[in-house]
Amino acid sequence: MDATAVLFANETFYHAFSHRDFAVMERLWAREWPVLCIHPGWPVLTEHAAIIESWRRIFQNSATGTVTPHYARAFVYGAMATVVCYEEIQGALLVANNTFIVEAGEIRIIHHHASHCANPPPPETKSAPAMQ
């Protein structure tokens, strides 16, 4: 798996998140692999249907603002890759981990975890580049 492609998939994830693009978010999630999603303050979601429903609920919530990734770094482990980054949402920074695999010839997400963190770095002054 190529780090550039993984970072692009990660940016696609955040673009779908920020623009409440349910169709893209649904397509990004793997269907043939075990999946895991941990939203801040939510219980652990381990079923594909529950994860997709969680995104539907998040996108329907008018209080959900734009989410911008910062300081994204890809770690490639053969056929799997993890991106760690910070999510800027409503002026706060969360730390996030997104894990990707290749399924049906496409890079898809199998794990998303975002949580509050102590002493986050300051937000970047512009959108994070696809390559770091």
pLDDT tens for each residue of 64-109: 888 999 999 999 999 999 999 999 988 888 999 999 999 999 999 9
> Domain range for residue 61?
3-116
| In-domain check, residue 130 | no
| In-domain check, residue 85 | yes
| Percent of all residues in the chain with a pLDDT value above 90, rounded to a whole number | 79
Q: Which pLDDT belongs to residue 119? A: 82
Q: Give the CATH number for residue 92.
A: 3.10.450.50
| In-domain check, residue 43 | yes
98 within 8 A of 72, measured Cβ to Cβ: no
| In-domain check, residue 73 | yes
| In-domain check, residue 125 | no
Q: Which pLDDT belongs to residue 2? A: 94
Q: What share of the chain is helix, strand, coil (3-state, %, to 5)?
A: 25, 35, 35
How many folded domains does the chain comprise? 1
| In-domain check, residue 122 | no
| In-domain check, residue 126 | no
